[in-house]
Amino acid sequence: MKPQRQIVASPPLPNPLPQAGEGANVGLRPRKPINGVLLLNKPAGITSNAALQKAKWLLDARKAGHTGTLDPFADGLLPLCFGEATKFSAYLLDADKRYRAVMQLGVTTATGDPEGEVLSTREVNVDCGDILAVLPRFKGEIEQIPPMHSALKHLGRPLYEYARAGLEIERPPRKLTIRALEMIECDPPRVVLDVQCSAGTYIRTLAQDIGAALGCGAHLTALTRTAAGGFSLDQAHSLADLDALDASQRPSWLQPPDCLVTHLPALQLDAAEAAALCQGRNVPTIRDHSGLIRLYTSANRFLGLADAEDGQLVARRLMATQRT
């Protein structure tokens, strides 16, 4: 008989906690300023952090971050930000994502994916019509309980650490939006879905909830992120391709930092206005703008972001380079 998992509001954690083993030992080298966005096609089988560290090493970059974690079993589009581009990564982190999700009906696992322990196996007595009938329940604004095997924090520690310690935390449901949910292949127990969703959606949980609605359970066997914000997977490069390039050519694959904020209106400043903002002063403006604005110098170089408030430009996030 399997031991019962203890459910508590704020359980004590054993010390030390199980370690995640994140990242790869890629060594130490001097870092240089690298500013831009790499659209990476992350392979399955490694963590997002390991992919980030490998790309950071290949580019010999000092500062790096990603714009939304992909689980180790998942692959697909993982935009990586380097240098000054990290200042604007939140705008892609909060953007919609799109996925190709492969579900297996009739089997549930502890993690909702192929890496977890099998919890139950049931006979699958549903057809494609039954599946199509339940999908509308999960379109639009829905509530979802985040999985225990996730990086969400509780008392400063990720939930997956509690899960590995055999503890379960009570998690309030979160509102999110499923903008599109289409069945693109159906051969029960295998079902393939195309999902477009708001940031923060757990596709593993969506698959589990669909399986529960069908009465047979389900888990993900594969997951590919096909789009994030305005970027698509066909624009992405693999780590192997990046590695094969000569080191001097690798930065050419980076997109400029302002590619993360192209949805915002743009404004060009003269030299005096640009200098004033960089010195921390507000700049009067009679231009018809409000809210966040992309700023460019007179030489059409990206300066950063400002808020237009009551006829004033107020600096919000400025590049440390290209300020004149």
What's the mean pLDDT in 116-127?
Answer: 96
pLDDT band of 33, cuts 50, 70, 90: confident
Q: Is residue 121 part of a domain?
A: yes
User: Within this chain, do residues 179 and 101 fall inside the same structural domain, yes or no?
Assistant: yes
Q: Is residue 19 part of a domain?
A: no
SS3 label, residue 239 = helix
Whole-angstrom Cα distance, residue 275 to residue 255?
26
Q: Is residue 151 part of a domain?
A: yes
User: Within this chain, do residues 66 and 172 fall inside the same structural domain, yes or no?
Assistant: no
Answer yes or no: is pLDDT of 324 > 70: no
Indicate the average pLDDT of the chain. 88
User: Within this chain, do residues 103 and 81 fall inside the same structural domain, yes or no?
Assistant: no
Q: What is the CATH number of the domain that holds 213?
A: 3.30.2350.10
User: Within this chain, do residues 190 and 127 fall inside the same structural domain, yes or no?
Assistant: yes
The pLDDT of residue 3: 44
Q: What is the dihedral of CA 219, 224, 229, 232, to 10 degrees?
A: -160
The pLDDT of residue 166: 85
Catalytic residues: 71
pLDDT band of 129, cuts 50, 70, 90: very high
Q: Which residues pair with 157 in a beta bridge?
A: 154
Q: 324 or 298, which is more confident?
A: 298
SS3 label, residue 314 = strand
The pLDDT of residue 81: 96
Sign of the alpha-carbon torsion through 65, 69, 72, 74: negative
How many domains does one find in the chain?
3
Q: In this structure, are residues 296 and 319 in contact, taking their beta carbons and an 8 Å threshold?
A: no
Instruction: Report the percent of the chain where pLDDT is more than 70.
Output: 88
User: Within this chain, do residues 160 and 214 fall inside the same structural domain, yes or no?
Assistant: yes
pLDDT digits (tens, 9 = 90+) for 135-179: 999 999 999 998 888 778 888 888 888 888 888 888 999 999 999
pLDDT digits (tens, 9 = 90+) for 269-312: 999 999 999 998 999 886 677 789 999 999 999 999 999 888 89
The pLDDT of residue 32: 61
User: Within this chain, do residues 121 and 167 fall inside the same structural domain, yes or no?
Assistant: yes
CA separation, residue 269 to residues 133, 281, 283, 316 (Å): 54, 14, 10, 15
User: Within this chain, do residues 217 and 250 fall inside the same structural domain, yes or no?
Assistant: no
SS3 label, residue 276 = helix
Q: Is residue 323 part of a domain?
A: no
Q: In this structure, are residues 221 and 114 in contact, taking their beta carbons and an 8 Å threshold?
A: yes
What's the mean pLDDT in 19-47?
Answer: 71
User: Within this chain, do residues 250 and 285 fall inside the same structural domain, yes or no?
Assistant: no
Answer yes or no: is pLDDT of 323 > 70: no
The pLDDT of residue 88: 95
Q: What is the CATH number of the domain that holds 268?
A: 2.30.130.10
User: Within this chain, do residues 250 and 204 fall inside the same structural domain, yes or no?
Assistant: no
Q: Which two tokens stand for residue 275?
A: 């200098």
The pLDDT of residue 225: 98
User: Within this chain, do residues 89 and 102 fall inside the same structural domain, yes or no?
Assistant: no
User: Within this chain, do residues 205 and 164 fall inside the same structural domain, yes or no?
Assistant: yes
pLDDT digits (tens, 9 = 90+) for 41-60: 999 999 999 999 999 999 99
Domain of 305, in residue numbers: 264-318
User: Within this chain, do residues 214 and 244 fall inside the same structural domain, yes or no?
Assistant: no
Q: Is residue 195 part of a domain?
A: yes
Residue from 104, 101, 113 nearest 182 by CA? 101
CA separation, residue 275 to residues 18, 248, 281, 309, 323 (Å): 51, 33, 9, 19, 7
What's the mean pLDDT in 120-149?
Answer: 95
Q: Is residue 222 part of a domain?
A: yes
Range with the poorest average pLDDT among 29-33, 136-140, 221-225, 242-246: 29-33
Q: Is residue 188 part of a domain?
A: yes
pLDDT digits (tens, 9 = 90+) for 67-111: 888 999 999 999 999 999 999 999 998 899 999 999 999 999 999
